[in-house]
Amino acid sequence: MDPLKKRSIGSVLVVGGGIAGIQSSLDLANSGMKVYLLERTAAIGGRMAQLDKTFPTNDCAMCIVSPKLVEAGRHLNIEILTDSELLSLSGEAGRFTARVRRHPRYVDVSKCTGCADCVAVCPIGLSNEFNEGLDERKAIYRPYPQAVPNSFLVTKLGTSPCKATCPAETSAQGYVALIKEGRYEEALEVIKEYNPFPASAGRV
């Protein structure tokens, strides 16, 4: 066999961002390995982040997991892949190839400061999965206050809320995205798709 193909690659994929996955990632990263921490949901922490106390010591669950969340989020050898799922794994020991599907957050993680101003103006309420449906959250949300990554994401269920409540059924998100890129003619076409005479709708 070609020695280059047999050579191990110094990176590891950890599937699952619960407390066990986080601790495994930290141990591997501290030993010098590049770690890709794969998590299906929008934030790492798993079930332990949902708990109040742990059995049998009755210790505060968040007090245990929170420092590990911060350490994993800041560790230079750990790359966190949230909203992601493992599609396939091929290869052999020491040289695997993983196919991963990443789902969109609809919020730029590098630009989001976690200020929550977007939550204050969001008109759509949805059942809060983190609290097992006992309360509501907004369509744009952060899974829980200590979540890593500390950025918001948008739940999209069919038609966007702004389009659903717009009397002219205008795709505001598409329009704004095209304007941002300077594609003004295409933005106008998006408006005219549902409202051929936008000037008749008045000015906002």
pLDDT digits (tens, 9 = 90+) for 48-85: 999 999 888 899 999 999 999 999 999 999 999 999 99
Residue 23 lies in a domain: yes
Residue 114 lies in a domain: no
Q: Give the CATH number for residue 36.
A: 3.50.50.60
Residue 168 lies in a domain: yes
| 3-state SS track over 63-98 | HHHHHHHHHHHHCCCEEEECCEEEEEEEEECCEEEE
Q: Are residues 178 and 94 in the same domain?
A: no
| Alpha-carbon span 3 to 10, nearest angstrom | 15
Domain count, the chain: 2
| Alpha-carbon span 61 to 195, nearest angstrom | 53
pLDDT digits (tens, 9 = 90+) for 89-138: 998 887 889 999 999 998 998 899 999 999 988 878 899 999 988 999 99
Q: How many CB atoms lie within 10 A of CB 58?
A: 8
Residue 172 lies in a domain: yes
Residue 143 lies in a domain: no
53 lies in which domain range? 3-102
Residue 74 lies in a domain: yes
Residues 132, 45 contacting (CB under 8 angstroms): no
